[in-house]
Amino acid sequence: RCAACRHLRRRCPSDCIFAPYFPANDPHRFACVHKIYGSSKVGNMLQDLPVELRAEAADAICIEAECRVQDPVYGCVRMISLLQQQIHNAESQLVKARAEIAVLGSHAQELRHHVQDI
């Protein structure tokens, strides 16, 4: 029985929608998804996708559910905010570094002219 069918205390059918993405050895993965979305929503979300996209969708759904279990207010939106802050910081450092390069460049230019004049 896959982790989902174990959790739901049911027989795991041969065409189980969950079995390929929720192996029995990782019960926490399904428990999070079940707590946040419920098994029928997750089953529907997977069912609505072509088979070749279901594994990636299951992974993304699990990431979102785990984030929301850990952080019931912001879920993975907190990570988006933190990453946006981090980009903002990196970009302002880049603006400063480029300004420094411009100053150093023109300073080197002046010195070069000075050397030529001598």
| Binding characters for its own copies, 15-54, by CB under 8 A (x = yes) | ---------------------xxx--x---x--xx---x-
Q: Does 61 bind its own copies (CB under 8 A)?
A: yes
Of the candidates 91, 20, 92, the one whose C-alpha atom is nearest the C-alpha of residue 58 is 20
24 versus 37: smaller Cβ distance to its own copies: 37
10 versus 98: smaller Cβ distance to its own copies: 98
Measure Cα distances from 91 to 19, 57, 67, 87, 105 in Å.
44, 31, 27, 6, 21
Of the candidates 2, 74, 67, 89, the one whose C-alpha atom is nearest the C-alpha of residue 39 is 2
Evaluate whether 41 touches 74 at the Cβ level (below 8 Å): no
Interacting residue with its own copies among 13, 26, 60, 70 (CB under 8 A)? 60
Q: CA–CA separation, 87 vs 75, rounded Å?
A: 20
Q: Does 114 bind its own copies (CB under 8 A)?
A: yes
Q: CA–CA separation, 21 vs 61, rounded Å?
A: 11
Residues of the shown chain interacting with its own copies in the complex, contacts defined by CB under 8 A: 36-38, 41, 45, 48-49, 53, 56-57, 59-61, 63-64, 68, 72-80, 83-84, 86-87, 90-91, 93-94, 97-98, 100-101, 104-105, 107-108, 111-112, 114-115, 118
